[in-house]
Amino acid sequence: MTWVKICGIADDAALEAALEAGADAVGFVFHPPSRRYVSPERACQLASRAGGHTLRVGVVVDQERPALEAVLAAVPLDAVQWAGGPIPDWAQDLDAHLNIGVLRLARGDPWPHHLPPAWAYLLEAPGPPGTYGGNGRPGLWPAAGEIGSVSRLILSGGLNAENVPKAVRRSRPFGVDVSSGVETDGKKDPKKIRAFVEAVRRDADGT
């Protein structure tokens, strides 16, 4: 079954919609310039209501170790998504936290052959300079199915309830990640969250 992550969770309604729909993971953005940013205090309140079968992912951008360790001490997270540069070597020392890397590849870019160890890698299209994810740009969906060096590849970029079944059928990734595709006027839309998860479960998985 295709793994589903709803990223950029910042309020109760979005969290409840993701949990009720059966999302496998929810993401909290700890990058202050992002409009989806949540403070560690607010993220703690939200993440404490998830857990169990739902992976709680902290999304960071070029986070220094002391600052990240402070976030991990304050928020019950299960994984860290490195949305800036490559996963740093010291990330392997973060006990009990999975690492998710991010690959930004445009059409024609060579596939990197040497990647730091990670639980999974998220594949998305490059956005404008200084932006990190959530830009709604379609990723390399067809190419994703040809990549065999990453056992857990998460498809991202430009996905929504209408196109995610086709993207999954073409690429057969481990999972999919969505943020802007389940928003209305820049805010998470519970109806779109439910529709997205249902579309993956019903059409992409053939159930």
**Which CATH number applies to 3-204?**
3.20.20.70
The predicted structure's pLDDT at residue 181: 94
Nearest by Cα to 189 from 200, 201, 178, 199: 178
The predicted structure's pLDDT at residue 82: 95
Rounded to whole angstroms, the Cα distance separating 136 from 190 reads 18
Q: What is the pTM of this model?
A: 0.90
Contact 2, 10 (CB under 8 A): no
Give, as one character, the DSSP assignment of residue 37: B
The predicted structure's pLDDT at residue 148: 53
Contact 196, 178 (CB under 8 A): yes
pLDDT tens, residue by residue, 93-151: 887 689 999 988 777 777 777 788 899 999 887 765 555 555 555 565 555 555 556 67
Give the model's confidence band at 72: pLDDT under 50 very low, under 70 low, under 90 confident, else very high.
Answer: very high
Rounded to whole angstroms, the Cα distance separating 152 from 108 reads 22
Question: Token pair for residue 150?
Answer: 């990453």
pLDDT tens, residue by residue, 6-55: 999 999 999 999 999 999 999 999 999 999 999 999 999 999 999 788 99
Q: 102 in helix, strand or coil?
A: strand
**Annotated domain spans of the chain:** 3-204
**Sign (positive or negative) of CA dihedral 104, 108, 114, 117:** positive
pLDDT tens, residue by residue, 153-181: 999 988 999 999 998 888 888 999 999 99
Nearest by Cα to 81 from 96, 98, 95, 94: 98
